[in-house]
Amino acid sequence: MKAISTREDIYQTVNAFRQSRALLTAVELDVFSAVHAGARSSEEVAARCGSDPRATDRLMNVLVGMGLMEKEDGVFCNSAVAATHLVRGATDYLGNLAHVSHLWDYWTDLTPAVRGGTKPMQDSTADRGEEWLESFIAAMHHRGVPQAPADINLIDFHDAAHVLDIGGGSGVYAMAMLRVKQDLRATVFDLPEVVPLTRRYIAEAGMEERMDTRAGDYNSDDIGSGYDLVFLSAIIHSNSPAENRGLLAKCAAALNPGGQVVVQDFIMDEDRVRPEHGALFALNMLVATTAGDTYTATEVESWMHDAGLRDVIVRDAPSGATQVVGKYIANG
């Protein structure tokens, strides 16, 4: 986050939403793909996107000012950065922006969330619809592809034969683990509405023989047993402290002796001010979940200790998250 130190900084910050909203709307309408496909005037783009011609022209003029498009004699073209990252199907397409757009509605309710202590929109993942779910899993996969290999490189898989990836979504982290150790198997546990998407990603990666799925709610359903490692990436921030305590106890009980639980998340300093992105993400959890938050290492360590996990270590991951690792020692 940029520190605010002047009157001008205040004005710039409170008005920054305008450019953000313009870009997100262009992404939702797929304006950049329309231009890439041959639409050159705002009228042609509007016809492709199903939008109003005048309003589309005004939006595209703003995109020109933002450096995302160029315009000459009423003809538009994408800038280099837009062509690389904002055209659907491009190698470096930022497909996760659709999820950011969905978060807009939640952040609009930040004021009532702060007043009431929880999100006003009490919906579940299933309630948000297929489009929201597809974009969310795609966003997590898109972010995980470059991050997962370096993050999992910190984990010791020497004695591991079977890994459980809790809330694993597309399975992107489990896939990275299997690429590191050829005799490793992985199970991805996620909600019933997510698992069909998981299977699709597994098939696309050609890993059906080494990966399987298990459907359920990790807070209330059986997660299985006989695992050598249970991995929870970006999971605990969606839960309340009580839910995390119960979940880590369940994970510990699912381990073979000597197995480990690896929690990877935004872990806060004790004052909860830093890391700054974690403090901001705590607000994201306030508006998007019933009782989620970002937590300190002390909190996570206490849940692990209550679950019977020992030799707890805390280490920074290359992605900017933090890993907290606890080992299950039989009769320990």
The CA distance from 102 to 298, in Å, is 33
Considering the domain boundaries, does residue 201 fall inside one? Answer: yes
Considering the domain boundaries, does residue 96 fall inside one? Answer: no
Q: First CA to last CA across the chain, in angstroms?
A: 43
Considering the domain boundaries, does residue 164 fall inside one? Answer: yes
Check whether 128 has a pLDDT greater than 80. Answer: no
Residue 322's nearest CA partner among 278, 272, 273 is 278
Considering the domain boundaries, does residue 103 fall inside one? Answer: no
The CA distance from 261 to 48, in Å, is 49
Residues 148 and 66 in one domain: no
Q: What are phi and psi of 99, to 5 degrees?
A: -65, -40
Check whether 44 has a pLDDT greater than 70. Answer: yes
Residues 13 and 125 in one domain: no
Mean pLDDT for the chain overall: 94
Cis peptide before 257 (omega within 30 of 0): no
What total number of domains does the chain contain? 2
Residues 118 and 266 in one domain: yes
Which is it for the CA torsion 3, 65, 77, 97, positive or negative? positive
| CATH number of the domain residue 241 falls in | 3.40.50.150
- Of 158, 162, 237, 305, the catalytic one is 237
The pLDDT tens digits of the residues spanning 251-260 come to 999 999 999 9
Q: What pLDDT, on a 0 to 100 scale, did the predictor assign at position 332?
A: 53
Q: Is 85 a catalytic residue?
A: no
| CATH number of the domain residue 76 falls in | 1.10.10.10
Helix or strand or coil: residue 95? coil
Residue 74, Ramachandran bin (φ over 0: left; ψ between -120 and 50: alpha; else beta):
left
Residues 192 and 148 in one domain: yes
Residues 142 and 50 in one domain: no
Q: What pLDDT, on a 0 to 100 scale, did the predictor assign at position 136?
A: 87
**199 vs 127, which has greater pLDDT?**
199
Considering the domain boundaries, does residue 101 fall inside one? Answer: no
Q: What pLDDT, on a 0 to 100 scale, did the predictor assign at position 323?
A: 98
Considering the domain boundaries, does residue 293 fall inside one? Answer: yes
Q: Which of 32, 59, 91 is the last residue of a domain?
A: 91
Residues 269 and 121 in one domain: yes
Residues 161 and 53 in one domain: no
The CA distance from 185 to 301, in Å, is 27
Is 328 within 8 Å of 258 (Cβ atoms)?
Answer: yes
Q: Which of 59, 91, 123 is the last residue of a domain?
A: 91
Residues 87 and 118 in one domain: no
Residues 15 and 145 in one domain: no
The pLDDT tens digits of the residues spanning 216-246 come to 999 999 999 999 999 999 999 999 999 999 9
Considering the domain boundaries, does residue 200 fall inside one? Answer: yes
E strands, the chain, where?
A: 69-72, 75-78, 162-166, 185-190, 211-215, 227-233, 255-265, 267-268, 295-296, 309-316, 322-328
Considering the domain boundaries, does residue 27 fall inside one? Answer: yes
Is 24 within 8 Å of 104 (Cβ atoms)?
Answer: yes
Check whether 35 has a pLDDT greater than 60. Answer: yes
Structural domain of residue 69, as residue ranges?
Answer: 7-91
Residues 148 and 224 in one domain: yes
Is 215 within 8 Å of 190 (Cβ atoms)?
Answer: yes
Task: Map tokens 């450019």 to a residue.
Answer: 19
Is 154 within 8 Å of 144 (Cβ atoms)?
Answer: no
